[in-house]
Chains A and B, each alone.
Chain A
Amino acid sequence: MMARVGVPKTYKLYVGGAFVRSESGRHDPVDGGYNVPRASRKDVRDAMGAARKAFGPWSKRSASNRGQILYRAAEALESRGEALAGGDELEAAIDVLVHYAGWTDKLAGVLGGVNPVAAPFLSFSMPEPTGVVGVVAGDEPPLLGLIAELAPALAAGNTVVAIVSERHPLPGLDLGEVLGVSDVPAGVVNLLSGRRAELAPALGAHRDLNAILDASGDADLHAALDRLAAETVKRTRHATPATTYASATDNALSRLEAVVELKTAWHPVGA
């Protein structure tokens, strides 16, 4: 009997809701006999464009709606995730998504409120998403580490350009396929694979990026990203990748704070 010829998967970047090859045409082999695209600065640019375009509509959705979409992503990961990660990591990643799905309509109550000002005004402060957030994922664990950065950014209403693990890119790229069949709108999450040393500075240098979450654990990259951030006063947060559900959620409010702005509005009271 002849053995069946397999159909190996061609991995692609996930940009603006589409699965695309790197515009550079480059790719790198990874474990398991697959090739992954080696994204370029121009792919970063395209992903930034998609993320910026998606930001307005995504941030304007109701908090409740964003929560349901994130929960739907958790459902999708639950049903399709076996290929992405082992049992413990996958379960933790799903649970992290569920956790942050529940944050969307709580954040304003926790971080915002009415300011009892000493003048005849209604003054209130409310969190708003920072904008387009860059994520530099760590290598271990590749899926949970990525989702621990993505989920709070998305829950707060940001859109994301993420550079997935360089060493283990497949789970990150597979996540694109899961999101692609969930309800997350095109451009809200953009996933790039390739060389971190090339992509992270390109992302950090993009003037339209508002914040960067760096889970690389790389001290040199940390400093380099900070210097780039200073060019346009980007917000930065550096951390080691979350390895458990607890480490991704115990500090949820701090993760959320890193990607929100507080807006204070004043309105006179008196007709």
Chain B
Amino acid sequence: MAATDTPRTSLTWDYAPAPESADHVRLRDSYDLFVGGDWVAPTDGHRVPSINPATEEPIAQVAFGGEHDVAAAVAAARAAQPAWAALSGLERGKYVFRIARLIQERARELSVVESLDGGKPIREARDIDVPLAAAHFFHYAGWADKVSYALGGRASQPYGVVGQIVPWNFPLLMAAWKLAPAIACGNTAVLKPAETTPLTALLLAEICQEAELPPGVVNIVPGDGATGVALVGSDVDKIAFTGSTAVGKGIQAALAGTNTGLTLELGGKSANIVFEDAALDQAVEGIVQGIFFNQGHVCCAGSRLLVQESVADLVIRKLWDRMELLRVGDPLDKNTDVGAINSAAQLARIEALVDVGEAEGAHRQTVACELPERGFWFAPTLFTDVAPAHRVAVEEIFGPVLTVLTFRTQAEAIEKANDSAYGLAAGVWTDKGAKAFEVARALRAGVVWQNTYNHFDPTAAFGGYKESGFGREGGAAGVRPYVRVA
């Protein structure tokens, strides 16, 4: 007997459903605003159900803040700020350490709620979002009494009250990226979670209470775009925004001529460049992680694959084989690789751009997989025969859709990669170290992953070039946006 084409047994082995238990989740039916250390009802806001995008079922009612609510939150932050800044860095840091610890303690619950509220696979929430959020607080807690070391020895002052607006793709993690450095540096904060994913930020408010963080240091006001506009227009000293480039430009314009600080972390259309000498199987894995991680709802997603023509067919075949293995479905199943699209609106945007891609003549391949009847779903999709001018090669889709372009030489790869209004991230796949570093240097992007993709760490600065924004989050560089220096 040899290994044969006709196996003697024909057992198919599939993974049984492995749902993460939601028993330990303690969600309230309805959430107020978290202002001045208390839960307060909205005065000019309203209540909206937060929906599970995998089922379209409401999870909890959430208060959205109106203009007065935002002003009240800013006032609470303003009142708390002098005493908070007057604490020694060490003492401030200890509160931030407490938050990190409590996140670790409630990690399972936070993971489940993140998955329920946003549609991301529980595996990612559990292994990436929540641990990184805790790690971020832990990292910045330690900066609280070392701020001048992050500034090349310069003296500094906290801004005062910072308004922070975070997106729906990594709700808790982005809240951590915003709050941890802000409060560590002596600011107080008003955070607006995203419209569709407010719940983990509200659990974070509970954690702030549990940590006995002084009232008003962190205030959380959920809401939609109107709440965000109110926050930008309020009496804050600085705005930190993560979200779309269009909204970021609006904020930058709204703050024109003011002395209000601003940092922006915006969109991208990041190039993932595969050279013929790459370790191709790992490159394919990196391509998959680059674009299908979190359903492609990632600002730095490697959404533009640039593959060297000599290996393009091979890479695309391997990629397609790999894509067919992706397990799409119930986000709470521990074996799910690709979860639900975050919202009906986002699904509509993805569908619209994919339609454009087909109309432009790009060749579309979508993985055939059974999708649940209810909820918002989009199967992993690949566009080949794409021209650089096609909209699917230029615009951020923010979904599980990869466009493939080819190149012949290193110079062409760099030129195509840089031919974008964005400059958030890029990937470079080659087994030749000298080439990896040369290409990394030539790319106009804030993060360059060589032979890997979508790795994040609290010690490593993250942020964009060009229209992907300005300011950095992570590491010593992440302190700078939260202090004024001469």
CB distance from B19 to the nearest CB of A (A): 29
* B466 interface residue (CB < 8 Å to A): yes
**Residues of chain A from 239 to 254 with CB closer than 8 A to chain B in the complex:** 250-251, 253-254
Is A198 part of the binding interface, using a Cβ–Cβ cutoff of 8 Å?
no
Residues in A with CB closer than 8 Å to B475 are 115, 125
A270 to B128, CA, bound (A): 22
Chain A at the B interface: SS class = mixed
User: Whole-angstrom distance from the CB of B111 to the nearest CB of chain A?
Assistant: 19
A233 touches B245 (CB 8 A): yes
Residues of B within 8 A of A125 (CB): 460-461, 475, 477
Contact A263 B446 (CB under 8 A): yes
Residues of A within 8 A of B445 (CB): 263
Per-residue CB contact flags for chain A residues 201-242 toward chain B (1 = under 8 Å, else 0) read 000000000100000000110111011011111010000000
Bound-complex Cα distance A36 to B404 (A): 53
Q: Quick one: which of B428-486 are within 8 Å of A by CB?
A: 433, 436-437, 440, 444-452, 455, 457, 459-463, 465-470, 472, 474-477, 480, 485-486
Which residues of chain A are near B469, meaning CB under 8 Å?
Answer: 233
- In the complex, A117→B459 CA distance in Å? 6
Considering the chains assembled together, what is the distance between the CA atoms of A62 and B188 in angstroms? 42
- Interface presence of B264 (CB below 8 A): yes
Task: Tell me which of B215-223, B249-257, B342-350 binds A.
Answer: B249-257
Report the minimum CB–CB distance from A115 to chain B (whole Å).
Answer: 4
Contact of A233 among B248, B455, B486 (CB under 8 A): B248
CB distance from A240 to the nearest CB of B (A): 13
Contact between B249 and A117, CB atoms less than 8 A apart: no
Interface size range of chain B in the complex: 35 or more
CB of A110 within 8 A of chain B?
yes
Q: Is A75 an interface residue (CB 8 A)?
A: no
Complex Cα spacing A63 to B249, Å: 33
A115 to B447, CA, bound (A): 13
Q: Are A254 and B460 in contact (CB under 8 A)?
A: no
A111 contacts the other chain (Cβ, under 8 Å)?
yes
B22 interfacial contact with A, CB 8 Å = no
Which of A130, A131, A222, A233 is in CB contact (< 8 Å) with B249? A233
B452 touches A226 (CB 8 A): no
Which of B253, B437, B469 has its CB near the most chain A CB atoms (within 10 A)? B253
Residues of chain B contacted by A9 (CB below 8 angstroms) = none
Task: Using A121-B455, A233-B266, A235-B470 as known contacts, say yes or no to A264 and B461 having CB atoms under 8 A apart.
Answer: yes
Chain A residues packing against B (C-beta within 8 Å): 110-111, 113, 115-119, 121, 123, 125, 130-131, 210, 219-220, 222-224, 226-227, 229-233, 235, 250-251, 253-254, 257, 261-268
Q: A-contacting residues of B (Cβ < 8 Å)? A: 135, 151-152, 154, 245, 248-250, 252-253, 255-257, 264, 266, 421, 433, 436-437, 440, 444-452, 455, 457, 459-463, 465-470, 472, 474-477, 480, 485-486
List of 3 A-B pairs having minimum Cβ-Cβ separation, nearest first: A223-B257, A226-B256, A230-B252
Could you name 8 residue pairs across A and B whose Cβ atoms are closer than 8 Å?
A: A115-B460, A119-B455, A121-B455, A123-B457, A231-B249, A254-B486, A265-B449, A267-B451
